[in-house]
Structure 1
Amino acid sequence: MTTVFLTGFPGFLGSALVERLLDRHDDETTVTCLIQSKYRSQAETKAEEIEAEHDAEGRIELVEGDITDADLGLGEAYDDLQADSVEVYHLAAIYDLTMDREPGRLVNIEGTRHVLDFAEGGNVDRLHYVSSVVVSGIYEGRFTEDMLQEGQQFCNYYETTKHMAEVLVQQRMDEIPTTIYRPGVAVGDSETGETQKYDGPYAFVEMLLDQGDNAVIPAPRGASDAEFNLVPRDYVVDALGYLSGIEESEGKVYHLADPDPPTTTELIKTFGEAAGKSRTIVVPYPKGIVKGLLASLSPESDLLKSGGLEYQTWGASFDCTNAVEDLEGSGIECPSFDSYAENLVDFVRENPDIDEGAMN
């Protein structure tokens, strides 16, 4: 029996993608998810839910392993699974802007190398690799889908590892039929607001909900000119599910980003409207002085380690030509931020205790 091999289950994107893969493939094709043992119970529950909803009993197989091992932790099962796999989807990564170097290197870089070895040795029809727009680092200007190594610097080690991992993937595209997807900053579902983790732009939402009718939000100078590129989970998964199923996507890189994103200031004010504020005032401050103050008071602060201030004045904008052109006619397009901002805010208001350490 043939199978589709996937890493990153039961994560935020991986769980939703499995549903698309079951629907696309015939009943004789399974989806094999490589899971960490600590997520076994969560993965079993999620797999049972998906199988019941999609009348796909027995079509999701869970195998325990670890992408940091050369054999993916599969042992004797490695060769048979490699031979049976017709496609590989690599989503697993540590998504933590304050990550330590060694676990980041092992998972995001070496883990990707091991998945590449698995895909090449099995002669799969396609490898689908989920990268990120953060491979642009602090590049200034229009960052296109065919750009990668532009001499850019990076805000944190997460960005560095994602860039280095994509370099590995692109170096082997002559040997492995590959498609690369670079999502923008992923937030909750555009219809329900559902998410597994509050980070990044959710800090603005939490600050707004903690204030009264008139809210004051600080942002670095330049926030009114810098794009803040958000994408809802359903767009990323729908686009990935569609693009990975067409022949034209082989060899391409896709920016699954908002072609017309708000500026940081616009994003904050839109969140304010969604939170029901009569007035949202964005107060600019000098980023350099704040960074210097933080460094003197707390050199290891999460805000400094994450590069969080840099994202609010991101110098890069993202060209989405490949994605827009190849999604044309599919009915899939990135919704405008103002059309779903209220759903994100409502979800936060109704679910204040989401676990910040949730798997992504």
Structure 2
Amino acid sequence: MSAAPAVLLTGFPGFLGSALVERLLERGDGPIACLVQPRYRDHAERRAADLAGADGESIRLYEGDITEPNLGLDDADLEGLASVAELYHLAAVYDLAVESDLAEAVNVRGTEHVLDVAEALEVDRFQYVSTCYVSGRYDGVFTEDHLREGQSFNNHYERTKYEAEVAVQARMAEGLPATIYRPAIVVGDSETGETGKYDGPYYLIRLLLSQPSWCSITTRFPGSPGAELNVVPRDFVVDAITHLSGRDDAVGEVYQLCDPAPLSVPEFVDAVADAIGHRVVSVPASKRLSKGLLEAAADRGLPAEPATLDYLDHPTRYACPNARRALAGTGIECPPVASYVADLVAFLRENPDVGDEAMV
């Protein structure tokens, strides 16, 4: 008789979720039960087959939806998950331009539903993937000790991820054995450049690539020289979560998985320019005008997302003392962007058909 699943994970077959499942299987944590939306069932089956190989029982797919109570699972499915001792919650809407109602349904109420199931299953560990950008536009250095700071938010994604983490921390205060991970802006693998979605910094890279190499134009704002663009590769994030989730002393902790020495916005633009071999000119402009120009570019089918401009003068800087202490001596550390940006560009050039749509 096959073993009952001890791990339940949401966010499969997403970019981070798939990579984390692979690491957990390598660690021997299978079988892993993965909650999958019906619309992604075929994709999930193909991904599970790739990861599980001959051991088809190591990944179990359960059709459901975090926006529904009990995750949309029936009584028989919930009974089948009674063996689960650890729950990883990654599912969310990762979209800077997401509408409020959708963000509320998935990021906030969805997280509350997952928390309810975690408590009903009486799990030993709840592993929650948040984001550094629960900070909103906090003016200063934001650490793992910060959360409720009266901050404003760039968009509904940030606001609802903040509200979701508030809910998780409230359950932690009531005794839920949880660990929170806050990645910065996640891009592709630092070795292969592989990614599942061209969003965030990729809009800048693609917009510059769409222009002549002898002169590519971008805009800069008054606050850009002092703003940092905190970017982390997928492999660092997944390696860190895999390691920290296996430590008993990580219960009750918050870890910011960010670059401790990020590039400023102008330095990031220069790094991209070097990687693509373009001469890039940054033209002073107001954010309002720049957003209007990007909206027009998007209407013409160019790779543009106006919401990304809010990060070119983002006032927050991120520190990760808790994560750095916990990862010291493990060999797990965030590589500098300049060391792998060329790999991101190479993957983009070789795989132009990868989209920018969020899995919703």
Normalised by the length of structure 1, the TM-score is: 0.92
- Cα distance in structure 1, aligned partners of 2:28 and 2:290: 52
The answer on whether the counterparts of 2:186 and 2:231 sit within 8 Å (CA) in structure 1 is: yes
Shift of 1:219: 2.2
Q: Report the secondary structure of 1:20's partner residue.
A: helix
Deviation by residue 1:328-355 (Cα, 9 ceiling, x = unmatched)? 1211100000000000111111111212
Amino acid at match of 2:136: G
Q: 1:331 to 1:146 in 2, by over 3 A?
A: same
Q: Deviations over 1:292-321 (max 9, x none)?
A: x679999x9xx9996422211111011111
1:284-303 equivalences under 5 Å are 284-287=284-287, 290=290
Residue 35 of structure 1, CA deviation: 0.1
Query: How far 1:359 moved relative to its partner?
Result: 3.0
Q: Which residue does the alignment assign to 1:161? A: 160
**8 Å contact kept, 1:132–1:184:** yes
The answer to whether the Cα contact below 8 Å between 1:156 and 1:305 also exists between their aligned partners in 2 is no
Contact 1:196 1:358 in 2 (8 A): no
- Deviation at residue 84 of structure 1 after TM alignment: 1.0
Contact 2:112–2:167, Cα closer than 8 Å, also in 1? yes
> How far is 1:39 from its partner?
0.5
* Structure 2 counterparts to residues 202-221 of structure 1, below 5 A: 202-210=202-210, 211-221=212-222
Distance 1:343 1:290 in 2: 28
Alpha-carbon offset, residue 3 of structure 1: 1.7
Checking the alignment, whether the CA contact within 8 Å between 1:6 and 1:34 is kept in structure 2 is yes
Q: Say which is worse superposed, 81-90 or 136-145, in terms of deviation.
A: 81-90
Change over 3 Å in CA distance of 1:101–1:306 after alignment to 2 = farther
Deviations 1:100-146 (A, max 9, x none): 22221111111100100111121111100000111000111000101
- In structure 2, distance between residues paired with 1:81 and 1:181: 28
Structure-2 residue corresponding to 1:62: 61
Mapped contact 1:156–1:306 kept (Cα < 8 A) = no
Can you list the C-alpha shifts for 1:46-80, whole angstroms capped at 9, x where unaligned? Answer: 0011011xx64311000100111111111113542
Find the counterpart in structure 1 of residue 349 from structure 2: 349
SS in 2 for 1:83: coil
State the distance in 2 between where 1:166 and 1:323 align.
18
Going from structure 1 to structure 2, the CA distance change for 1:78 and 1:172 (only over 3 Å counts) comes to farther
Find out whether 1:3 has 2:2 as its counterpart: no
The aligned runs of 1:82-101 (5 Å cut-off) are 82-101=81-100
Percent identity over paired residues: 48
Question: CA separation in 1, counterparts of 2:22 and 2:311?
Answer: 32
Q: Deviations over 1:246-286 (max 9, x none)?
A: 11211111111111000111101101101123x33322223
**Paired residues of 1:270 and 1:341 also in contact (CA < 8 A):** yes
Contact kept in structure 2, 1:82 and 1:119, CA below 8 Å: no
Alignment partner, residue 18 of structure 1: 21
Aligned to 2:123: 124
Shift, 1:216, TM fit: 2.9
Partner of residue 323, structure 1: 323
Partners of 1:230 and 1:296 lie apart in 2 by: 24
What's the offset of the Cα at 1:157? 0.8
Paired residues of 1:65 and 1:73 also in contact (CA < 8 A): yes
Q: 1:23 to 1:295 in 2, by over 3 A?
A: closer
Q: Any unmatched runs of 5+ in structure 1?
A: none
Given the superposition, is the C-alpha separation of residues 140 and 46 from structure 1 closer, same or farther in structure 2, using an over 3 Å criterion? same
Kindly indicate whether the alpha-carbon contact (under 8 Å) linking 1:155 and 1:306 is maintained by their aligned counterparts in 2.
no
Name the CA distance, whole Å, in 1 between partners of 2:343 and 2:149. 37
Counterpart position of 1:182: 182
Check conservation: 1:87, 1:124, Cα contact below 8 A.
yes
Question: Are the equivalent residues in 2 in contact too, given 1:145–1:253 (CA < 8 A)?
Answer: yes
Distance 1:134 1:304, change over 3 A: farther
1:188 Cα shift? 0.7
Amino acid across the alignment from 1:89: Y
How far, CA to CA, are the matches of 2:51 and 2:294 in structure 1? 47
> Residues 294 and 340 of structure 1: is their aligned pair in 2 closer, same or farther, counting only changes over 3 Å?
closer
Letter in 1 for 2:91: A
